[in-house]
């Protein structure tokens, strides 16, 4: 359970940062986009589609943050659904991180670390194949 707590803490930090940053970015874009300030100048992604839909990307980041927090809370409460949701969140983040550069680098580090810790706790010292004695003699 100790490793699950460490993974959940990483996920809470990750989700909290995503959620808070998303809320602040929504406020920032709402306040300053009407005044001619180009928000894409400060927040950029390498793919033009994401850059052109920055507002929707911010909302999706908030959704990911909330789901990550819910999974972490489930993990802390020792619930199997929390484990499943946390693994799904981590794997999805690792898959999508390359499309969300430069922010995806930090996402990948945090989600990848949490996933490794979760898998280490879940599988423990289990071996892939148990050693079978040689019966040829």
CB 111 within 8 A of CB 89: yes
Residue 91 neighbours by CB under 8 Å, 6+ apart: 115
Q: Specify the pTM.
A: 0.78
pLDDT one-digit tens code per residue, 34-56? 654 455 565 566 677 777 777 78
Q: Pull the structure tokens for residue 79.
A: 């619930």
Residue bearing tokens 């874009």: 29
Structure-model confidence comparison of residues 133 and 111, the more confident one? 111
pLDDT one-digit tens code per residue, 50-92? 777 777 877 888 888 899 999 999 999 999 999 999 999 999 9
CB 10 within 8 A of CB 21: no
pLDDT of amino acid 94: 92
């Amino acid at each position: 359970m100790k490793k699950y707590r460490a993974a959940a803490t990483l996920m809470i930090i990750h989700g909290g940062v995503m959620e808070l940053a998303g809320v602040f970015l929504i406020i920032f874009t709402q306040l300053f986009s009407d005044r001619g300030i180009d928000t894409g100048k400060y927040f950029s992604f390498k793919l033009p589609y994401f850059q052109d839909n920055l507002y929707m990307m911010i909302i999706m980041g908030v959704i990911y943050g909330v789901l990550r927090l819910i999974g972490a809370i489930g993990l802390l409460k020792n619930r199997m659904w929390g484990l499943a949701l946390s693994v799904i969140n981590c794997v999805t983040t690792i898959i999508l991180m390359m499309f969300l550069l430069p922010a995806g680098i930090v996402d990948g580090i945090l989600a990848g670390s949490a996933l490794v810790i979760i898998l280490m706790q879940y599988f423990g010292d289990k071996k892939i194949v148990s050693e079978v004695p040689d019966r040829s003699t």
